[in-house]
Structure 1
Amino acid sequence: MAPHNAQARLEAALPAALGRVIATPGVYAVLWCGSAARGEADAHSDLDLHALVTRNHRWRSSFVVNGVPVEVFHNPPRTIRALFAQGEAATVAMFAGGRVLVPHPDLDALVAEARALCAAGPVPRSLTPAERHLLLDEVIEARAAVKESMHPYLVANAAGRLVRALYAARGWWEVKSRHCLRDLMAREAEAAQPLHAALNASQPDGRQAALEALALCVLDSLEYGESSTEPQAVP
């Protein structure tokens, strides 16, 4: 399905989807978010809606309208603000880029807060020694399996964790995995290039070398050091 046809199909289903959402007891404001709200829908897109509720509960629901999948996140405003405070990237992005369908001052305030957070970026967070150790473990595990059929999986898994750590360290909001390479290329080509090679190299040795180059964008070295987690009480 052509992108413009997919977008038109989702927009045609929007009124019926919205009608069902606003009929839900307690719903008083609705935000349309996701790729379709940005005009970027493709054949695999669905309709994503955030509904503010008066209840003291949060829940998630899904249904289908005219063949279009719809996903709805129901939350009181304080829950959204708690997610903002936790640095929950997906929620910040949805509210920052969403389109208000059923307005309310509470929703207007949340959108404004999300846009400010999005512009500022999250607080950069360095790896703890224990986190560094776990990431290095994954790289070394892939090195040990370089001749095995599971090597591409191990590399892809480790690369994903390394990229998330890189975004946290740089103070960037995470993006969906499918957009990660493009986003990283715009931000830091030196890290995007080994990521691309790790995911696309045809030979295991080249794939592993690219993973280790990516790791060095995040870790200070590929040598183990001292680390310890915080002691936790046990029952």
Structure 2
Amino acid sequence: MTDTAADPQARLEAALPAALERLRVTPGAYAALWCGSAARGEGNAHSDLDFHVLVSGDERWRANYVVEGVPVEAFHNPLRKVRAMFAAGQGDTITMYAEGRPVWPHPDLDALIAEARALHATGPEVRPLGQQARFRLVEEVMDARALAAAGDPLHVLVACRAAELAVEALFGARGWWKVKPQRWLGTLQDHEPEAAHDLHTLLTAPEAGARQVALEALTFRVTGDLTYHEGGSDPVPVP
């Protein structure tokens, strides 16, 4: 018998029937998709149970509660709203439906899963780095460089902030679906191992110099260089 106290994934799965019972008594609910890390079999001691729930009617809402000591988050949406989110290219929703596991089946849910998997396989539109976003990223990297040169301990914070901008820009420029930061390294390893190496080095290097070198290498992958380019926003009326 599995020790659910010692096995976080087993603990989450043990709470699944009680969570599903809570979903089944929700007014208007008629189907549920289990998604997130636990549904992928990657649950840890801090994971929760995530669900997308189909409901009849014209309302949508989010519910949070605890069953058998496990936190639960459930997103309730009518069928047409989910399809609208797909059409809008909401990567998080598409990914959840593409990777999720139906625990309260229904033909509508089956259709959404098939649609999401097709969209996920195609990938999102490429989102090139705009001028203002590029300027902000380069500025953050240069701020980090100055802190590294000065031996300032704040370099850790600023370098990680710049890395977040660089990773998000890389995902957009390469046409990859966005994922939570917890999945950045794994996703990068699958798509661009050299970028995964840069990010891992940045996160683990004990010295600011090595951290900064990794940050700049990661940034180069999306900007091509670290020079400032001329640009700006369009004028807007002042109220």
Aligned to 1:21: 23
Residue 83 of structure 2: which of 81, 84, 87 is its match?
A: 81
Q: Aligned residues, how many?
A: 235
| Counterparts of 1:21 and 1:58, CA distance in 2 | 14
Residue 103 of structure 2: which of 86, 101, 104 is its match?
A: 101
Aligned to 1:199: 203
Identity of aligned residues (%): 53
Change over 3 Å in CA distance of 1:125–1:31 after alignment to 2: same
Structure 1 stretch 221-230 or stretch 61-70: which is displaced more? 221-230
Change over 3 Å in CA distance of 1:74–1:189 after alignment to 2: same
TM-superposition CA deviations, 1:104-131 (whole Å, max 9, x none): 2221121111101111111111111111
Within the alignment, does 1:164 sit opposite 2:159 as a pair?
Answer: no
Structure 1 residue identity aligned to 2:202: A
Residue 139 of structure 1: which of 133, 138, 141 is its match?
A: 141
Change over 3 Å in CA distance of 1:161–1:37 after alignment to 2: same
| Counterparts of 2:161 and 2:36, CA distance in 1 | 25
| Counterparts of 1:129 and 1:89, CA distance in 2 | 23
| Counterparts of 1:148 and 1:49, CA distance in 2 | 43
Q: Normalized against structure 2, the TM-score is what? A: 0.91
Structure 2 residue identity aligned to 1:227: G
Alignment map for 1:1-235 (pairs within 5 Å): 5-146=7-148, 147-235=151-239
User: Do 1:3 and 1:40's aligned partners in 2 also have CA atoms closer than 8 Å?
Assistant: no
| Counterparts of 1:140 and 1:3, CA distance in 2 | 47
- Uncovered stretches (5+) of structure 2, i.e. residues with no partner: none
- Uncovered stretches (5+) of structure 1, i.e. residues with no partner: none
User: Do 1:30 and 1:49's aligned partners in 2 also have CA atoms closer than 8 Å?
Assistant: yes
Structure 1 residue identity aligned to 2:124: P
Secondary structure, aligned partner of 2:222: coil
Secondary structure, aligned partner of 1:40: coil
| Counterparts of 2:128 and 2:208, CA distance in 1 | 30
User: Do 1:3 and 1:42's aligned partners in 2 also have CA atoms closer than 8 Å?
Assistant: no
User: Do 1:167 and 1:173's aligned partners in 2 also have CA atoms closer than 8 Å?
Assistant: yes
TM-superposition CA deviations, 1:27-57 (whole Å, max 9, x none): 1211111122222222222111111112322
| Counterparts of 1:172 and 1:3, CA distance in 2 | 36
CA shift, 1:6, in A, is 2.0
Indicate the RMSD between aligned Cα atoms, in angstroms: 1.9
Structure 1 residue identity aligned to 2:212: Q
CA shift, 1:213, in A, is 1.2
Change over 3 Å in CA distance of 1:155–1:71 after alignment to 2: same
CA shift, 1:3, in A, is 9.6
Structure 2 residue identity aligned to 1:28: Y
| Counterparts of 2:114 and 2:237, CA distance in 1 | 41
